[in-house]
Amino acid sequence: MQIILSSSSVPEEILKSGFDLIRAFFTGAVPGTDYRAPARKLLGGQDSNDGLSGQDVDIEAICGQTAQAEGGFRAEVRVEAPWKGRAPWELEAPLQFTWTLPARPAAEAKNGQTENTGSDAASVNCQTDCLAEFCQACLAEQEIETILAFKEGSRENRPKLLFKHGLLKLLSQVCRKRLPWGILSGIRPGKIVQNLYDRGFSRAERAAVLEKHYAIRPDKAELLQKIAAVQRSCLEELRRDPRRIALYVSIPFCPSRCSYCSFPAYRLSKDRQELTGYLQALQAEIRAAGLLISKLGLLVDSVYIGGGTPTILTAEELSGLLQELKKEVPWQECREFTVEAGRVDTLSSGKLAVLGEQGVTRLSINPQTMQEATLRRIGRDHRVADIGRVYHLARSLAPWVINMDLILGLPGESLVDVRDTLEQLAGLQPDNLTVHLLALKRGSREYESGLRHKQAALAEQMQELSRQAAASMGLEPYYLYRQKRLAGNLENIGYARPGLECLYNIAIIEERQHILGLGAGASNKIIDLPEGRLLNIHQAQSWQHYQLKWPEVHRQRTEALAESLA
């Protein structure tokens, strides 16, 4: 589908800021712009574009090509703002938005079942027979005043902010639905609430900013407030002692690639030769990081070994890696040690014993689903019974906190399937439950094969079932993040028993702590606490390039940490 944002008064830069909203309403949309500056002259004979002139676009040509390729779904959103003086656009007067749908999509998506089809109708997050052909919306002066009354609560650029509100109002009428997260497109909405906490905003004032300034639905605003309150003591600890850091170690190998996965993860050959060179490079980086941590007087607060699937290592390889970590990295202050053991087909009593002996305190066993047919579909090589067997084995070996991951919206699954999965997990009683919505991203087999998300309403029903199940298990939400191309434009939520929240997850999502990322695909987050700046330094994605380039990444993080702590 192609949706063009066009205007003769709103600059192209502003129009492009609406792309994420279009994708939120229409999964798989291809947004474009057509900005044609009006032929007005200023003193001196120059055009009044103020350097924001756009390139003329042949809308009919673009939409015609798209209609042929995508089955006829094309639309135009016309946006106009009255001109005042020399400014390209000033927002003291109402903004006008018009939606035109010259070619109506075929009504192929029925009953919320949209799998295994690449049609445009299946990509629309609303019933196609409800989609308006023509619609108008106006962001009036009173609405502008209300939105800007809470401007001090954020850093949003004013023109883009108001443009997004107007576009949200229009598309809500077009699709006859309300986006749960309003104009927000970022993956860490909790940071907004924490910043408001820092600035002394009351609970009511925080709610007003979330609901009026960002148009977040009240139930989602309340969820953010609840999570922020749980996190507050942890973040206050980090603020008082900025020497506390987190350490992430990446093992980018998996026994097989799940059909929904778009992450860089690699299968091992039969002789496992890839691991030899990779582990040598990783251990060298561990030694370098340990020296840096000691030199700067830092304290390792939490360690997280992720992937990929870290437990693809043999018991001997796991033991050697964990011993190297504990020998080279100052470990005395470590409060949490997590290992992702997501694939039960990689776990054995020997490996679990090694993890327990080496002091792992948190284990992540990730079924994703408890449905046999879905496990086969997504490429998992174990059975549902194996999940319970490994879980009980782990419980018998060590007193660790156990997390279990679940994905809602997997292909072929209904509400009945999700309810059954949740009931089975409730019988296991994990300490943490992380509930993801399916994210369909380029590079995954499901996306490339044409799978499309279920209807947003069905995704919300699944999410509500998971919320109720978590509450029945005594678990409370403690962290939240969002992703692009997420089912229902919703969010991923981590639940925990009170007092058993994952420190690393809070740190990585709220970005209030230095995080050193070791290994292929890992990220280093260096935080300049006085100014609130954040520097991301990324390792090479492929394990081959990582072995060559990690020394340069280490040099960069050394310089950045020294500057931040000076």
Look at residue 138 and tell me whether its pLDDT is greater than 70. Answer: yes
pLDDT for the residue numbered 93: 61
Q: State which H helix or E strand residue 491 sits in.
A: none
Q: Decide: 452 and 411 in contact? Cβ < 8 Å.
A: no
Q: State how far the Cα of 309 lies from the Cα of 174, in Å rounded to an integer.
A: 44
In Å, what is the CA distance from 475 to each residue of 226, 281, 302? 13, 39, 22
Q: State which H helix or E strand residue 324 sits in.
A: helix 315-328
| pLDDT band at residue 106 using 50, 70 and 90 as cut-offs | low
| pLDDT band at residue 264 using 50, 70 and 90 as cut-offs | low
Look at residue 86 and tell me whether its pLDDT is greater than 80. Answer: no
Residues in the chain: 566
Picking from 123-137, 140-154, 256-270, which range would have the lowest pLDDT averaged per residue?
Answer: 123-137
Q: State how far the Cα of 409 lies from the Cα of 233, in Å rounded to an integer.
A: 34
Token code pair at residue 6: 């066009």
Chain region(s) in the chain for CATH 3.80.30.20: 241-565
| pLDDT band at residue 342 using 50, 70 and 90 as cut-offs | confident
| 82 vs 349, residue with greater confidence | 349
Look at residue 49 and tell me whether its pLDDT is greater than 90. Answer: no
pLDDT for the residue numbered 153: 58
Over the stretch 465-487, which tens digit does the pLDDT of each residue have? 999 999 999 999 999 999 888 88
| pLDDT band at residue 154 using 50, 70 and 90 as cut-offs | low
Q: State how far the Cα of 264 lies from the Cα of 275, in Å rounded to an integer.
A: 15
Q: State how far the Cα of 270 lies from the Cα of 532, in Å rounded to an integer.
A: 47
Over the stretch 176-195, which tens digit does the pLDDT of each residue have? 889 999 999 889 999 999 99
**Nearest one of 364, 363, 356 to 397, comparing CA atoms:** 356
Q: State which H helix or E strand residue 317 sits in.
A: helix 315-328
Q: State how far the Cα of 221 lies from the Cα of 201, in Å rounded to an integer.
A: 15
Whether cis (ω within 30° of 0) applies to the bond prior to 308 is yes
Look at residue 107 and tell me whether its pLDDT is greater than 60. Answer: no
Token code pair at residue 182: 């309003």
In Å, what is the CA distance from 218 to each residue of 210, 211, 222, 464? 8, 6, 6, 15
pLDDT for the residue numbered 117: 37
Which residues in 115-142 are b (16+ Cβ under 10 Å) and which e?
eeeebbbbbbbbbbeebbeebebebeee
% residues pLDDT > 90 (the chain): 61
Q: Hey, what amino acid is at 127?
A: Q
Look at residue 416 and tell me whether its pLDDT is greater than 70. Answer: yes
Over the stretch 109-132, which tens digit does the pLDDT of each residue have? 444 444 443 333 334 444 444 578
Picking from 27-36, 231-240, 342-351, which range would have the lowest pLDDT averaged per residue?
Answer: 27-36
- CA angle 45/49/51 to nearest 5° reads 110
Q: State how far the Cα of 234 lies from the Cα of 501, in Å rounded to an integer.
A: 10
- Provide, for the chain, the percentages of residues in helix, strand and coil under a 3-state DSSP scheme, each rounded to the nearest 5: 45, 20, 35
% residues pLDDT > 70 (the chain): 84
CATH 3.40.50.1100 fits 241-565, yes or no: no
* Mean per-residue pLDDT of the chain: 85
Look at residue 105 and tell me whether its pLDDT is greater than 50. Answer: yes
| pLDDT band at residue 133 using 50, 70 and 90 as cut-offs | confident
The whole-number average pLDDT for the span 445-452 is 75
Residue 204: CB atoms within 10 Å: 7
Contacts of 53 (CB under 8 A, 6+ apart): 35, 37, 47
The whole-number average pLDDT for the span 367-379 is 94
| 151 vs 289, residue with greater confidence | 289
Token code pair at residue 426: 């409730």
Q: State how far the Cα of 15 lies from the Cα of 167, in Å rounded to an integer.
A: 10
Look at residue 336 and tell me whether its pLDDT is greater than 50. Answer: yes
pLDDT for the residue numbered 231: 97
